[in-house]
Structure 1
Amino acid sequence: MKYNRVLIKLSGEALAGDQGNGISGEILNKISSEIASLQKTGCEIAIVVGGGNIHRGVAGATSGMDRATSDYMGMMATVINSLALQDALERRNVYTRVLSAIAMQEVAEPYIRRRAVRHLEKKRVVIFAAGTGNPYFTTDTTAALRANEINADLIMKATKVDGIYDKDPMKHKDAKKFDKLSYIEVLNKDLKVMDSTAITLCMDNDMDIVVFNMFEEGNIARVVQGENIGTVVTKKA
């Protein structure tokens, strides 16, 4: 394997599948199967999952809700998704721990960096829930923060498309795919693969990002093995 410890960023919308909201059992089983296969190779895996399939903080704020309140609701949504993913993984006999940035001891452990690292060393899959525990920060920023805290080798941004394009490939047939980009290019081109705070945090700490299609079977393992899958965001393109 090229990477021994990775952080996988899953969007909440991805868990919804074609139904648009909620959690798709089919998608959950597919994702958990891929992660279980990777875990058997000995790779240390951390996961940050979004909550957009249940509630998006920004969307709530634009409809008149207090932004901080809406963001906290979004954090609660990520806990629901994290518990669902944990259940799916443990049904595949994968030892898993959910660590929440907001205390809810009945369902998740509190986030403590050293505890998270220890779980990873014991080959448990660690799922980071409730974002950073603060409003105004996205789960993309959470992924960048946690990846650096646990000294991950790579952030794997799992999406519905096979990389980063100059425009939405779902809407534009002439969209151009990038094989490699620098952090500065992502910011200057306003590509929105991750928010600017997350990209800047990765840039300041030389944390590479691979954006790939998670719905193609075996892609997660291919990325970890170092195959040229998706788009790489790194210091120098």
Structure 2
Amino acid sequence: MEQPKFKRVILKLSGEALAGNAGYGIESDVMTSIAYQIKEVIELGVEVAVVVGGGNIWRGIAGSEQGIDRATADYMGMLATVMNSLALQDALENIKVPTRVQTSIEMKQIAEPYIRRKAIRHLEKGRVVIFASGTGNPYFSTDTTAALRAAEIEAEVILMAKNKVDGVYSADPFKDKTAEKYDTLTYMEVLNQNLGVMDSTASSLCMDNNIPLIIFSITENGNIKRVVLGEKIGTIVKRKGSAE
């Protein structure tokens, strides 16, 4: 049996990744592909938690720019992540992967409240845990949620799945043909060069807790498994001097 490099991981999915080429909403073929990729990793014995964004439905910052109160707009974005999480749960359970959704905002009719010890217990039992509604607080992104939950459940790595790029570049590769793809970076380089991998709060949290980050493309089937097995795809971001 293939030996995974990691035992417990956080998979960060952007809302845009769930929309596929449509750009808005949820594309069923994309959701099914992601579910099967997660199942491949679970079958390796890896414990998988997922943080899902909501940008395919609603973005708090965009809402605030339209005149909606920023906190209200952010709460609306949190509800969008719950919709995505329930859709992912359904896709996983359709292929016999046991799943639990935990929300930072209590809505017990449809999901469990986030409880750290309960989440860890689910993971130990082989269940996929999907963390929804961000941190439960406005002004914090789902990137920060991924960093926070990774620290709390002692995940070994955050896998940041992208649907448009296959790593981190020195510039926008769609606009600048000379843009250079990085194989490895430190968190200080990400922050100092403003590379936009994740927001500064999330980057600092990962750096302070020595949590590596791997950015890769999810559009190619099997990539989550390849990353978990240690293949060198995408870009690795880590604290300076830490081991891969």
* TM-score, normalised with respect to structure 1: 0.99
**Off by >6 Å, runs of 4+ in structure 1:** none
Match of 2:149 among 137, 146, 151: 146
In structure 1, give the amino acid aligned to 2:27: S
The residue number in structure 1 matching 2:134 is: 131
Q: Which residue in the other structure is 1:201 paired with?
A: 205
1:174 aligns with 2:178: yes
CA distance in 2, matches of 1:88, 1:170: 31
**Correspondence for 1:33 among 28, 31, 36:** 36
Q: How far apart, CA to CA, are the structure 1 residues paired with 2:55 and 2:43?
A: 29
Work out whether 1:108 is the aligned partner of 2:120: no
After TM superposition, list the pairs within 5 Å mapping 1:23-172 onto structure 2: 23-160=26-163, 161-172=165-176
**What fraction of aligned residue pairs are identical, expressed as a percent?**
61
Corresponding residue for 1:221?
225
**Alpha-carbon distance in structure 2 between the residues aligned to 1:20 and 1:217:** 20
Give the structure 2 partner of residue 12 of structure 1. Answer: 15
Q: Does residue 210 of the first structure (1) align with residue 214 of the second (2)?
A: yes
1:202, 1:59 → 2: CA distance?
26
Residue 138 of structure 1, CA deviation:
0.2
Task: Give, in whole Å, the separation in 2 of the partners of 1:155 and 1:20.
Answer: 24
Residue by residue over 1:128-170, the C-alpha shift from the partner in whole angstroms, topping out at 9 and shown as x without a partner, is: 0000000000000000000010000100000121100011112
Partners of 2:62 and 2:26 in 1: CA distance: 19
SS at match of 1:37: helix
Q: Tell me, yes or no, if structure 1 residue 230 matches structure 2 residue 234.
A: yes
Aligned amino acid, residue 97 of structure 1 = R
Match of 1:144, SS state, is: helix
3-state SS in 2 of match to 1:127: strand
- Aligned Cα root-mean-square deviation (Å): 0.8
- Using the TM superposition, give the Cα deviation of residue 62 of structure 1 relative to its aligned residue in structure 2, in angstroms: 1.0
1-side partners of 2:28 and 2:175: how far apart?
27
- TM-score, structure 2 length as denominator? 0.96
